[in-house]
C-alpha cells in the first residue's frame, strides 16, 4: 500500500511539471513606444538635443514616466493610448519652474493612428501596434518645433525612430 502512495505522488508530480508549456511565461509581449528623434533644423542630418525637455500627456497633470524629466535629450520614447485614436503631448523646451509657473517654450503635439491588436501568446495575450501614424502640431507665435517628419507610419517595434522633429 505504501508503494502505491509513493507511486501516485511521483506520478502527480510528473504530471504537474509537464502541464507547463513554453509560452506560460511572457518574454516579448510589450506594446511598443513611439520613438522620436530630435534633429537640427539648419543641419537636418545632425541630431540635436532639446535642452531641459519636459513631456506632459495632454489632459494629465503629471509628466510622462518613460523619459527623465528636465534633461537634455536627442531621443524620447512615448506611450500611445490603446483605447483612443489619438494621443496628445505637451513638449516643453528649456523647462524650468519660477514661482510654480512653467517658464519653458511649450508646443502641443497630437498623434493620430489606428490601433491594431496582435495576439502574441497565451501568457502575453494581446499587444497593440499602431498604423497610419499622423501628427498635428498646434501652431503659435513661438513654436520651437519647426518641422515634423513621420519616418515610419507603422509603430510595431522600438528599434528605430518613428518620428523626426526638427528644431
Nearest alpha carbon to residue 155 among 121, 119, 118, 124: 118
Nearest alpha carbon to residue 30 among 80, 87, 90: 80
C-alpha neighbours within 13 Å on the C-beta side of residue 143: 15
Q: What are the pLDDT tens digits along the chain (167 aa)?
A: 777 777 677 666 666 666 555 546 776 678 999 999 999 999 999 999 999 999 999 988 889 999 999 999 999 999 999 999 999 999 999 999 988 888 999 999 999 999 999 998 887 889 999 999 999 999 989 999 999 999 999 999 999 999 999 99
DSSP secondary structure code for residue 72 in this structure = E
Give domain limits for the chain: 22-166
3-state secondary structure of 158: coil
SS3 content of the chain, % helix, strand, coil (to 5): 10, 45, 45
DSSP secondary structure code for residue 139 in this structure = P
User: What distance in Å separates the CA atoms of residue 28 and residue 71, rounded to the nearest whole number?
Assistant: 29
**Cα-based distances in Å from 20 to 30, 149, 157:** 22, 46, 29
Amino acid at each position: 500500500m505504501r508503494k502505491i502512495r509513493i507511486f501516485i505522488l511521483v506520478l502527480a508530480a510528473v504530471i504537474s511539471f509537464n502541464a507547463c508549456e513554453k509560452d506560460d511565461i511572457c518574454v516579448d509581449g510589450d506594446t511598443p513606444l513611439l520613438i522620436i528623434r530630435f534633429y537640427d533644423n539648419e543641419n537636418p542630418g545632425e541630431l540635436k538635443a532639446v535642452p531641459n525637455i519636459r513631456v506632459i500627456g495632454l489632459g494629465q497633470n503629471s509628466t510622462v514616466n518613460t523619459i527623465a524629466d528636465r534633461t537634455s535629450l536627442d531621443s524620447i520614447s512615448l506611450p500611445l493610448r490603446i483605447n483612443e485614436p489619438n494621443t496628445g503631448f505637451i513638449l516643453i523646451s528649456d523647462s524650468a519652474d519660477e514661482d510654480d509657473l512653467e517658464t519653458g517654450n511649450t508646443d502641443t503635439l497630437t498623434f493620430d493612428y489606428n490601433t491594431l491588436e496582435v495576439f502574441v501568446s497565451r501568457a502575453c495575450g494581446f499587444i497593440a501596434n499602431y498604423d497610419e501614424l499622423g501628427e498635428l502640431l498646434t501652431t503659435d507665435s513661438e513654436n520651437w518645433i519647426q518641422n515634423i517628419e513621420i519616418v515610419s507610419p507603422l509603430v510595431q517595434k522600438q528599434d528605430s525612430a518613428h518620428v523626426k522633429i526638427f528644431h
